Chain A
Amino acid sequence: MTPDQKKTLQIYFALLILLALTVGVNSLHLGKWSAPASLLIASTKAALILAYFMQLRRSPVAIRIFALGALLWLFFMLLLTSSDYLTRF
């Protein structure tokens, strides 16, 4: 097995552990912290898949910029919308 394949398996196990973690954490009755905790774990999983399975960590800079560009627009959309709804009382 090459080091790359070994790394892929390690990332796979990390993803399964994170899945167990997110289900476990949500059984703790966290109330309003359930959403941030779940989304933090989901983002970690997504980052692992993007960096290792989708090879972003080895991609040329141009490709990384385009991937990050999508995240930037996403961030604007989420930030501006939630700054409205989350601040209504």
Chain B
Amino acid sequence: MTNAENTNEKISATLGMWIFLGSESLFFSGLFLALTVYRHLYPAAFSEGTAHLSLALGTTNTAILLTSSACMALGLQQNSARKKRILFALTFLLGLIFLGLKMFEYRQHYNEGLFPILNWDSGKYQNPQIELFFILYFIMTGLHALHMLIGLALILFCTLRMKKPAWAASHEMLMENSGLYWHFVDVIWVFIFPLLYLIGRNS
């Protein structure tokens, strides 16, 4: 954040963003709660589901998203317009890599018959409720990916436009709020990762 004064306008723009993020967090938490309740009811099936996910891919993607969030935070701290733009572009690129890896993962699930509705190999599993795990997995990661796409669109827009100093000067709040949104998407993933990839893996 620059050392600009906290004007009323600026505070209300940030406040509006936080209200929006607060409602978004309730939206995602409903899914987290559903997953936790079903994991509690069907522990064996949900452990089997977790075992089918790649820990290496999940961990790599978490690291990539944390890195992109750090780039965004550093970008907003730059006074030099050029450095800011480079860090925004880097944030965008890392987000794109995250989505690429996620698509690769989805393709693997599809090929292994782990994709409910489209390609589900029901004879393969010990616990029938594993389908519930994968339905929740696709809804949670799919909605997260959708949020990533929105965040990426915002970041790309800012990166392209901030080349003009006049635009950058009058759209500081758009860049700040895009940053808040991007960090929020990161926080959601910070919880999705243990809930889907870690808990129940070695129990």
Q: Which residues of A contact B (CB under 8 A)?
A: 2, 4-5, 8-9, 11-12, 15-16, 19, 22-23, 26-32, 34-35, 38-39, 41-42, 45-46, 49-50, 52-55, 58-60, 62-63, 66-67, 69-70, 73-74, 77-78, 81-82, 85-86
B141: interface (CB < 8 Å)? no
Closest CB of chain A to B4's CB: distance in Å? Answer: 13
Distance in Å: Cβ of A57 to nearest Cβ of chain B: 11
- A39 and chain B: residue at smallest CB distance: B194
Whole-angstrom CA separation of A76 from B184 in the bound complex? 21
User: With contacts A12-B66, A39-B194, A49-B69 known, is A29 near B77, CB below 8 A?
Assistant: no
Counting CB contacts under 8 A, is B63 at the interface?
Answer: yes
Task: Report which of B21, B22, B67, B179 forms a contact with A12, defined as CB distance below 8 A.
Answer: B67
Name A38's contact: one of B70, B73, B199 (CB within 8 Å): B199
Residues of chain B contacted by A54 (CB below 8 angstroms): 179-180, 183-184
Q: Is A34 a contact partner of B26 (Cβ separation < 8 A)?
A: no
CB <8 Å contact, A66 and B19: yes
A66 touches B18 (CB 8 A): yes
Contacts of A38 in B (CB 8 A): 194-195, 198-199
- CB nearest neighbor in A for B34: A81
Cα distance A67–B202 when bound, in Å? Answer: 35
B62 at the interface (CB under 8 A from A): yes
Q: Once bound together, how far apart are the Cα atoms of A28 and B69, in whole Å?
A: 29
Min CB distance A72 to B, Å, is 10
Chain B contributes a number of interface residues (CB within 8 A of A) equal to 48
Residues from chain B with Cβ under 8 Å of A69 in the complex: 22
**Complex formed: what's the CA distance from A66 to B24 in Å?**
13
Complexed CA–CA distance, A77 and B6 (Å): 34
A73 to B23, CA, bound (A): 10
Instruction: Kindly state whether residue B55 has any CB partner on chain A within 8 Å.
Output: yes
Q: List 28 A-B contacts (CB under 8 A).
A: A4-B77, A5-B77, A12-B70, A19-B62, A23-B198, A26-B199, A28-B202, A34-B199, A34-B200, A34-B203, A41-B194, A46-B190, A49-B186, A50-B187, A53-B70, A53-B72, A54-B184, A58-B1, A60-B11, A62-B11, A63-B15, A66-B18, A69-B22, A70-B18, A70-B21, A73-B26, A77-B26, A77-B29
Contact B190 A45 (CB under 8 A): yes
Rounded to whole angstroms, the CA-CA distance of A69 and B30 in the bound complex is: 16
